[in-house]
Amino acid sequence: MIELSLIGIGTGNPKHLTLQAAEAIGTQDLILIPNKGAGKDDLAGLRHAICARALEGCATPPAIVEFDLPIRDEATRDYRQRVDDWHDAIAEIWRQAIATNLPEGGKVGFLVWGDPSLYDSTLRIADRLTRSPEVTDEIVVKVLPGITSIQALTASHAIPVNTINGPFVVTTGRQLRDNGWPAAVDTVVVMLDGQCSFQTLPSEGLQIWWTAYAGMDNEITVSGPVDEVTQTILDTRAAARADHGWLMDIYLLHRA
């Protein structure tokens, strides 16, 4: 049997690791760490640092193995098909890595940025693995929740995510660009937005709280009326990406 643990590790700050997650890391036989290639090496490095912290004093630490994450095809075809093909490729890499490193079965862990349940595809990839005809072992999937980027965002600005008795929507930049402001809410949290899609919205009365590298030592925050801080955010994003080679950001919008 293979026990597959998806361990939420927060947003890159080792102090975000819950006691449950730290304990789980120490009980694995194998930890698989994705390597996203040149310019994003510190993402793998942070996972190694988190493991090192969690495994201090561990008598039998797990093997830690990196794997190269395939590049998603960005050709001009259906977006969902591109994502499905990418997830299929990752699931196959997982299968091969597990078969090579745990031929007799055992416990394998993946350190998931943020939380495995929120705008993360690790659970979908795990589901592909459990349905793969090439996997003959029984696979049991366990999920250990972690601090989300939404929590890190609101903490960095010291704001609540909602108004009194008010609903909010968590969505993506693509959805905001394609469909505009979601109906029946005044507060929107936007993730996975590389194009600053708030620029497509009417800016009158619109406030933004934006954070990059939320919860990390190099966290950056900008807030204010959208029509006053848009250029600051654009310039800050460009400089941060140039400095680090990668960028993770998230923002909350509220309209009066």
Q: Where are the domains of the chain?
A: 2-144, 149-255
Give the helix/strand (H/E) hosting 198: none
Distance CA 219, CA 41 (A): 18
User: Is residue 76 scored above 60 in pLDDT?
Assistant: no
Average pLDDT in the 170-174 region? Answer: 96
pLDDT confidence bin for 12, thresholds 50/70/90: confident
Distance CA 126, CA 42 (A): 24
2-144 topology per CATH: Cobalt-precorrin-4 Transmethylase; domain 1 (3.40.1010)
Phi, psi of 223 (to 5 degrees): -150, 160
Average pLDDT in the 89-116 region? Answer: 94
pLDDT attached to residue 136: 76
Q: Quick one: which of 85, 82, 92, 25 has its CA closest to 52?
A: 25
Average pLDDT in the 99-118 region? Answer: 94
pLDDT attached to residue 61: 96
Q: Please give the full DSSP string across 3-31, using - where no structure is assigned.
A: EEEEEE-BTS-GGG--HHHHHHHHT-SEE
Distance CA 193, CA 179 (A): 14
Q: Quick one: which of 234, 248, 249, 119 has its CA closest to 175?
A: 119
149-255 classified as CATH 3.10.20.30: no
Question: To the nearest whole number, what is the mean pLDDT of the chain?
Answer: 93
Distance CA 47, CA 75 (A): 30
In the chain, what percentage of residues exceed pLDDT 90?
A: 78
Are 35 and 67 within 8 A, CB to CB?
A: yes
pLDDT confidence bin for 95, thresholds 50/70/90: very high
pLDDT attached to residue 41: 67
In this predicted model, what pLDDT tens digit does every residue of 179-238 receive, in sequence order?
999 999 999 999 999 999 999 999 999 999 999 999 988 999 999 999 999 999 999 999
pLDDT attached to residue 237: 97
pLDDT attached to residue 27: 97
**∠ at Cα 5 (139, 37), nearest 5°?**
105
User: Is residue 87 scored above 60 in pLDDT?
Assistant: yes
Q: How many CB atoms lie within 10 A of CB 108?
A: 23
pLDDT attached to residue 36: 77
